[in-house]
A = this chain, B = another copy of it.
């Protein structure tokens, strides 16, 4: 089977990114290990520039489009892809228009505007962001940067997998499951491809919140299935209608069964990350750590690796998570 993205595409994306973004650390803590009953390593993508891994895909796509001479870019996003694209566009001197749901966290809207983008909002339940994006792209002469069904974006997210492969090897970890928060599947697919090439003993697993577990159900069924709802979750960053057309074949081929956690587990994982790792993780970014901490029986191995994919969260939500934090 031919997949949409190759390891060479991912390595090329790393070359384009160069020193423009952060190499995010692979963190650990005795307290987290004690909670999980085994060694837990956390790839802290919340420490990426703009607060999520989306800066990787944004830079990968925008840097290529800028070299091709496009006039400007447009993206639809609940906020993290928005900031990733806006950041890369500003750095490359391109205009950026971002279509965001009206219920996106205030910090994400403000963060996107602070990066110089023109933000257009829509109703998540009643309107199609894809249609709005396509219309504005045509009206304004902008090039659409899809959040996950875009080979350049998947390749950019895959650079997190290249980093992880090297970091895990440095810590002596060659066999482990790698849990990744999953919306459309761009990060998971990109990382799965990178790990297959550079750390074949690290198997990827997706993590999603209950009621928005389209990837887990789709992987089990062998075909793409939709979510019943498209709003109403605190995990705004990873709520998508269905698995991506390009990402699903990758994850079908390379990922293990999908993991599903509750919103309460995601908040408790945020609290544990506050206490034990001193990082700020948003609800959608915490579902993989939640699986590692609270779904132990579904994950084999002496070591588990979880990706904390984003940290753009409003203070009130973070305060809820801190209330659930362990004292030690």
Contact = CB atoms under 8 A, between A and B. Distances in A.
A47 B19 contact: no
A87 interface: yes
A34 B87 CA distance: 13
Interface string A268-281: 00000011011111
B111 A47 contact: no
A22 interface: yes
B22 A49 contact: no
Contact of A27 (B22, B315, B318, B327): B22
Interface string A171-203: 110000000000000000000000000000000
Given A278-B51, A328-B113, A25 B23 contact: yes
A256 interface: no
Interface in A79-115: 87, 106-107, 110-111, 113-115
> Chain A: interface residue count, which band?
35 or more
A111 to B, nearest CB: 5
Contacts of A315: 274, 319, 322-323, 325
Contacts of A171: 19
Contacts of A6: none
B322 A47 contact: no
